[in-house]
Amino acid sequence: MILLAILAGVVIGLALGALGGGGSILTVPVLVYLVGLDAYPATSASLIIVGTTSLFALIPHARRGHVRVTQGVVFGVVGIAGSLLGGRAAARIPEPLLLGGFALLMLMVAVIMLRHDGREDAVTDSEGDDAARVMPASVPMVSVRPLRVRWPRLLKLVAAATAVGFLTGFFGVGGGFALVPALVLVLGFSMPVAVGTSLLVIVLNSATALSTRLTTSLELDWPLIAGFTLVAVLASLVAGQLSARLPQRVLTRTFAIGMIVVGLGMGIHTGVTAL
């Protein structure tokens, strides 16, 4: 069982480093079904593992210039309210409902990833990329002289950041599966920049959600969390170095299919247990 948990930590770290946070969604099922934690402690431990791993996974992406610090911080700060709300709500939800909702989330994310994986190839990291033509990242949402607010884009940012923050606080996931397309569509980032910046936002959201949970009577297995995090961090650093050479489309599809299998198994197990 411990060996399986270690292997799962490697997979999660690889996915975080290569896909910009998508791998974090596997952390909770691993902690619940392989390690044996209850749902609420598992989602709380996931925040520590995912947040720490994402922080280290930032390094290779930042070295390649694929992290937009200012925009990432703004996105994370805007999502604080959703993250706090999600963290408080999770403490009041029965375990079967929390796990059932998580299984449904996994299936939804897998479908989204399968539908959009073919579009990633169309987005390049050049100055004239397709995403930038839709909404250039250099165009500010608010300008002072003259005073101008691009309300449609600003409202999309607030809605996307709040939704991602809530998912992070409620389920203990990084939200990279929603962050990457949001950064592409709302801020006009290219795919490599969206992947790198999403890791920064995940760190901020995870820290915010965890701060809410630590104020409750929560007991965590710190040696387990430290070991799991170490394995995931090392794997994420390897993935970050190799991500430019790996076939992103194959990675995304393989990961999505794996999530469908885990999500279905998790939903069936939760339903049977509840009955």
What pLDDT score does 21 carry?
56
CB 106 within 8 A of CB 262: yes
- In whole angstroms, give the CA distance from residue 221 to residue 134: 46
How high does pLDDT run on average in the chain? 77
Cα angle 260, 242, 102 (rounded to 5 degrees) comes to 25
- In whole angstroms, give the CA distance from residue 162 to residue 75: 9
Q: What is the pLDDT of residues 93-122, one digit of tens each?
A: 888 888 888 888 888 878 877 776 655 444
What pLDDT score does 24 carry?
67
- In whole angstroms, give the CA distance from residue 30 to residue 36: 8
Q: What is the pLDDT of residues 171-188, one digit of tens each?
A: 877 676 677 777 877 777
pLDDT above 90 covers what percent of the chain? 1
pLDDT above 70 covers what percent of the chain? 76
Q: What is the pLDDT of residues 79-97, one digit of tens each?
A: 888 888 888 888 888 888 8
The better pLDDT of the pair 136, 192 is held by 192
Predicted confidence band of residue 149 (pLDDT cuts 50, 70, 90): low
Domain locations in the chain as residue ranges: 2-274
What does the pLDDT average to over 40-50? 88
- In whole angstroms, give the CA distance from residue 35 to residue 33: 6
Q: Which of 48-57, 209-218, 242-251 has the lowest mean pLDDT?
A: 242-251
What pLDDT score does 1 carry?
57
Q: State the residue for tokens 């006009």.
A: 188
Residue 144, burial from CB neighbour count under 10 angstroms (0-12, 13-18, 19+): exposed
What pLDDT score does 20 carry?
57
What pLDDT score does 127 carry?
40
Q: What is the pLDDT of residues 117-146, one digit of tens each?
A: 655 444 444 444 443 444 445 455 555 566
Q: Is the pTM of this model over 0.75?
A: no
- In whole angstroms, give the CA distance from residue 173 to residue 21: 9
- In whole angstroms, give the CA distance from residue 32 to residue 72: 31
What pLDDT score does 123 carry?
44
